[in-house]
Structure 1
């Protein structure tokens, strides 16, 4: 191994190459599980996680990707890399292709049963994606599958490279070169090494390494339970056509289902050892094996010279790209409910503090005695009775059925916010507000406490209408205006705002303009 960077600093024109190169960065962490996560601790068993997900590429596949490309890429000739992969391998191929070979065109063939989050992850990394129907893990030799299609395309075009992780010995040899030696150097007294088997590259590589370097190590492979599916690993039946010498690389096999894999991954992640389902899968296989040995009374046969059974399992992935599958695989008891989840479907538009005016600032939108400035429209969301009882001259009343003086703030009650937002959203899909008529105007929204108007402003802005609201609502605006009038000795507007509904009704009935009409219970209101 080349000299590592003890301070983990990489600089110069080849900094990223060094950063990715296992020969130049410190060994990936080996972390012992705490006692409460190790049910065999009192039996003298110590379990370590080899954190392959801590590589800069965040998955175990980067080392095979680097090794295969180093072997297969033909400089000045290879232009495209294509691979059938469930995600990690082809993402690693994309990264290594760009970093080490300057190849930008990397294409992923994968199952149409791949989750949307994983598809988007691959798009994020710049992959050209083609989906295939049929089994999510096709037989590598099946002419109908994507594995064979990738192989055929490469055979037809010399500029296209299919590294073919299922048959390329550089896949598993990467773990002979890097992973096995790292683990051995970190834990010389290792007794059991465990990994899941998918393409079988990881297990084959570390199995072949320890077969030569320390034959006393028990090599445990883990495959998927029949009829089940865990991202990455395969069932024993699907391993039969794999040509790597994986059978010669294991001493024992265990089968694990998806619930156990996802469940243990979830527990490990919550305890600080963040890892994906394939990692939980490997650990569960190891625990199953240790349980069988203990039941058979043979656990002591695995003890090393230090009097301990030292076990290592491969943490090969992270959970993030599989988040949706945790919720479909595990019961809801594993997750806290989301409070106010009804809000996930409403209040969908942005807010901006600049759209919420302070009461003193709002007064600048009016001329003397609260006469509205040109191109300014004031919409009052209060009930018709409250509107005529106290109003700003020139305002329009657009009452919401969900808004009353006694209503709590929509930001303190999720049900109120949902109801008010739906009412406001419906306004622009009905005849109550015409966005065209409001074009080029500033619409000032006002309500009792300012919060409903703030929601309304968000809705109107989303529809392209220039809208603002008043912080604190009508009460705050009236208070500030009253203070200003008292300070200036003014009385007119204050008196107007203090009239009772009966007085206003009597006055307005005698002189209703064409822009006015009657609201609920015969109360005259402004209408848009």
Structure 2
């Protein structure tokens, strides 16, 4: 039984869900939400703060500030509470109310930016707010998950090696694309170690990350309205885009079998299932997808009937042969 003194010291690394038992897809889902931050972002947050401390960028009067749609904000709020730092999370209206309350309960200040940018998102506006804040006082320290190499390095050093050890015959890895820290860290690891793994990025329809046209998006998590600076497509083998109704149906299909997982997970699983059905029909390659978070923070959005009807209409959960909850 582990005994810890700081919240970042606990993280379940070896839990995989066999999705063949959920909807028949030959896919193992690496569940990353079992830690005190509730998401994979705890790894990146820890790596970025540790590096900033080593480099002397954080002092006794420093105030950490970061733009986040939710999960990284929670992770940084936890680390800041543990280490005695002030923290400001700059987010937008798509951030779940539960997530905002959680960050505030940890002592963080939450600033919600409601000005949309030209790509129908909020990321540019959030980043500009952070830049203005940092320019106003040198006490503010922006870790900048969008350019910080320690974001992807956390997954190069921890996430990818763990997957490689568990699945030495891995054929395909599916990774959701947000800041692309997880994606780039895993892709770099498998390519640099010359392992024959096809790395497939999963993005949301309406995201501009891979050059797509901007569209309205309401599910927090994957996708961006500004291309991430960490992204280098040379490391990636393929990209699949998933619409938000597909994301929602995937989430509800898994919940119908007892697995309540986050919106980002629904996107990744939906994209992986479609890609495998097209590329490997009737076959069973060794495939892994990364589940970034659990579903409790989505109870007022993805899993709320009123929210679904408001944003997608009453037919969003209509029967889909791919997502029949009982294969």
1:102 aligns with 2:95: no
Q: Tell me the residue number matched to 1:71.
A: 51
**DSSP-derived class of the 2:287 partner:** strand
Higher relative contact order (CA 8 A, sep 6+): 2
CA gap of 1:219–1:271, structure 2 versus 1, over 3 A, is same
Task: Normalising by structure 2, report the TM-score.
Answer: 0.82
Q: Would you say the 8 A contact 2:92–2:114 is kept in 1?
A: yes
Q: Tell me the residue number matched to 2:8.
A: 20
Q: Tell me the residue number matched to 2:268.
A: 282
Matched positions, count: 296
CA gap of 1:26–1:67, structure 2 versus 1, over 3 A, is same
**DSSP-derived class of the 2:186 partner:** helix
**DSSP-derived class of the 2:184 partner:** helix
1:234 aligns with 2:223: yes
Deviation at 1:126, TM superposition (A): 2.4
1:138 aligns with 2:132: no
CA gap of 1:243–1:191, structure 2 versus 1, over 3 A, is same
Deviation at 1:332, TM superposition (A): 5.4
Q: Tell me the residue number matched to 2:204.
A: 224
Q: Tell me the residue number matched to 2:167.
A: 187
Aligned mates of 2:94, 2:259 — CA distance in 1:
28
Aligned mates of 2:233, 2:61 — CA distance in 1:
34
1:55 aligns with 2:52: no
Deviation at 1:198, TM superposition (A): 0.9
CA gap of 1:228–1:222, structure 2 versus 1, over 3 A, is farther
| Structure-to-structure mapping, 1:126-275, within 5 angstroms | 126-135=107-116, 137-139=121-123, 142=124, 145-226=125-206, 227-229=215-217, 230-234=219-223, 238=225, 240=227, 242-275=228-261
Structure 2 unaligned residues grouped into runs of 5+: 207-214, 319-327
| Structure-to-structure mapping, 1:407-446, within 5 angstroms | none
> Quick check: which has more Rg, 1 or 2?
1
Aligned mates of 1:173, 1:276 — CA distance in 2:
24
CA gap of 1:275–1:214, structure 2 versus 1, over 3 A, is farther
Structure 1 unaligned residues grouped into runs of 5+: 1-7, 40-45, 301-307, 336-528
Q: Tell me the residue number matched to 1:402.
A: none
Q: Would you say the 8 A contact 2:200–2:237 is kept in 1?
A: yes
Q: Would you say the 8 A contact 2:12–2:35 is kept in 1?
A: no
1:89 aligns with 2:72: yes
Deviation at 1:111, TM superposition (A): 1.2
Task: Normalising by structure 1, report the TM-score.
Answer: 0.52
Q: Would you say the 8 A contact 2:94–2:220 is kept in 1?
A: no
Aligned mates of 1:124, 1:62 — CA distance in 2:
17
CA gap of 1:193–1:113, structure 2 versus 1, over 3 A, is closer
1:475-501 per-residue CA deviation (whole Å, 9 max, x = no partner) reads xxxxxxxxxxxxxxxxxxxxxxxxxxx
CA RMSD of aligned residues (A): 2.5
Q: Would you say the 8 A contact 2:204–2:222 is kept in 1?
A: yes
CA gap of 1:167–1:137, structure 2 versus 1, over 3 A, is farther
Deviation at 1:157, TM superposition (A): 2.8
1:251-275 per-residue CA deviation (whole Å, 9 max, x = no partner) reads 1001101111122112213323331
Q: Would you say the 8 A contact 1:218–1:251 is kept in 2?
A: yes
Q: Would you say the 8 A contact 1:269–1:275 is kept in 2?
A: yes
Q: Would you say the 8 A contact 1:153–1:160 is kept in 2?
A: yes
